[in-house]
Amino acid sequence: MIAEIVSGAVVGVDGFAVTVEIDLARGLPSFTIVGLPNAAVRESRERVTAAIRNNGYQFPNKRITVNLAPADVRKEGAAFDLPIAVGLLLASEQIECTVAAGVIILGELALDGGLKPVRGVLPVACYARRNDYRYLVVPDANAAEASAVKGVAVVPCAHLMDTVDFLRGGAVRDMHSPQAGSPGPACELDYRHVLGQHAAKRAMVVAAAGGHHALMIGPPGSGKTMLARRLPSILPPLEEDEALENAKIMSVRGMMEWQGLPRTRPFRSPHHSASDAGLVGGGRNASPGEITLAHNGVLFLDELTEFLRNVLESLRQPIEEGRIVISRANANCSYPARFQLVAAMNPCPCGFSGSPDAVCTCSPLQRRRYLSKISGPLIDRIGIYIPVRRVEQRYLERNNPGTEADSASMGKEVLRAFALQRERYSGIGTMHRNADVPVALLDEMCPMSAEAERLLSDAQRAVRFSARGRTHIIQVARTIADLDGCATIEARHIGEAVQYRVPRHLSE
C-alpha cells in the first residue's frame, strides 16, 4: 500500500514542498530511502523504527521504500522523521487520517517518540501560506516561530502521538498570538561616549541615513572601531517585511531563539581570518555566510587590509546586486545580501602615515604593498571615505560626554531621512535607500540645481572620478539633502559629498 505525506525543506532561504511517498511491498524486510537523502535523512530509519515500536505500534515487516520527491533536489536534516513515521502508520493501516488535504508535517523524532526542533520552519511556513496549505504540524519548540506567518494554522506537537491524534480529527491546540517583537533594549553603545570626532560622526549620520558603504582610515587608537560599533544605535528598526526576511535567515542557520520578529538591525563583525565561504556563504553543505546574516543591517570589517585579498574580492558582486548566488556541483542557492559595508583600516603598516602626532616608519614600498591588498574595483564601490584623526587633547581633558552628540539626536536625523526615502521610493521594486538608486533613475530621483551641476562638473574635471564614483557622489548628496529637508540637491550638498569621495590616504 502507498501513503503520501507532504513535508517541507529549504533551498537558500526559501521553503518548498517535499512529498514523502511510502510504499509497503512483499519481500525480504528492508527500509530504503531514496530521493537524494543525506546522512541525517538516511539515519531516520533507526529513529522512526524505535519511535513506532516504543509507542505500541507494529513496525511493518515488509519491503519499505520511502521516496522524497522531487528526487533531483538534495534533502538534508532530520525534519522528515515525523512525516516518514506518520506515512508508515498510514500505509500499514494502523491509523486513519480524517483531516482533509492541505497539511505540511515537520519534525525530528526522539527514540521515545518525542519531537525535537528543526531548522527552516519559518521559510516552510511562508511557503505554506503562499500555496494555501491549511495546517502546519511542527514540534512545540518551533510553534512560536511558525506562528509569525499569518494565514496558516500551526499545530504544535510535543510527541508522535499528538500528531496521530490531530490526523485522527483531534482539535488543534490554541496558539497564542505571535509576538510582534521589539527594537530590543536600549543600546549600551552610544555616540556620546565618542569624544570629539565631529566630522566623523557627521559622516556616520550620512552613511546611516542613505545606506552608503563607508571606509574609515586613520591611525590606531583614533576611534574607528568605536564609531562603527555604535552605528546600529542610530539606525531605525526593521520594517515588517525586513524583519521576516531576517527571521527566515536565522531560522535556516538554526540561530532562532524565538522572542518575536527581530526589530533590531543586524550588526556582523567577522574576524579578519574569515574564509570566503564564511563571509559570502557556501561550503561543503551550502549555507548563508556573514553577508547574508548582515542582510538589512551592517557588515563591519575591522582591519580591512588583514583580510585575504580573495575574500575581499568576493564582496564585489553582492555589494552591487544585493544577493549572492552559490553554485556548486550539488547545489545552486541564492541568498539575500543587501547589507551596508562599514570598514576600518590604518593608512600604513605602522599606522601613522600622514599623522601630525607621530612619524611614519614605513618605506614607500611597504605602504604600496599594504594598500595593494585592497583592489581598486572594491574601493570604487565604497561611497564615503572618512579620515579619522586621533582625538585632540582638549576633548580628553574635558572628559564630559554630556556635551557630545548622542545616538538619540543623531538617530532622529537618520529617521527623518529614512522616512523621506521610504515615501520617495514606495512601489519601486526593492529600492528603499538612496544608495540603491540605479543610474537610470538618478535624474528623476536626484534633481540638482544648476549651481550644483556646475560644481559637480568642476569636481569631475579636477579629480577625474569614475562613472561609479560620480554616481556615489550624487547618491550621497541626495542623502545630505534629505537630512537638510531639501527636495533639490544644492551646491553645498554636492560639496560635502565630494569631500567624502576623496580617499586621501589611498591616493598617496
CB 200 within 8 A of CB 369: no
**pLDDT higher than threshold 70 for residue 370:** yes
Q: How far apart are CA 161 and CA 489, in angstroms?
A: 66
Tens-digit pLDDT profile for residues 277-298: 899 987 776 788 999 999 999 9
**Which ranges constitute the DSSP H helices of 270-392?**
276-280, 290-293, 309-313, 316-321, 364-371, 376-380
> For the residues 63-73, what does the mean pLDDT come to?
93
Q: Which amino acid is at 1?
A: M
CATH number given to 2-167: 3.30.230.10
Lowest mean pLDDT among 168-182, 223-237, 347-361: 168-182
CA 347 from centre of chain: 30
Tens-digit pLDDT profile for residues 17-42: 999 999 999 989 999 999 989 999 99
Tens-digit pLDDT profile for residues 146-166: 988 888 999 999 999 999 999
Helices then strands, each counted (H, E), the chain:
21, 16
pLDDT recorded at residue 258: 67
Q: Which CATH architecture has domain 191-407+418-428?
A: 3-Layer(aba) Sandwich (3.40)
pLDDT recorded at residue 418: 93
Domain residue extents for the chain: 2-167, 191-407+418-428
pLDDT recorded at residue 508: 45
Task: Tell me the pLDDT of the chain averaged across its residues.
Answer: 88
Q: How far apart are CA 170 and CA 196, in angstroms?
A: 66
174 band by pLDDT with thresholds 50, 70 and 90: low
> For the residues 462-473, what does the mean pLDDT come to?
91
pLDDT recorded at residue 10: 92
**pLDDT higher than threshold 70 for residue 199:** yes
CB 500 within 8 A of CB 387: no
**pLDDT higher than threshold 70 for residue 381:** yes
pLDDT recorded at residue 176: 46
pLDDT recorded at residue 97: 86
Q: How far apart are CA 282 and CA 276, in angstroms?
A: 9
Q: What are phi and psi of 363, to 5 degrees?
A: -80, 160
pLDDT recorded at residue 74: 87
The fraction of the chain above a pLDDT of 90, given in percent, is: 60
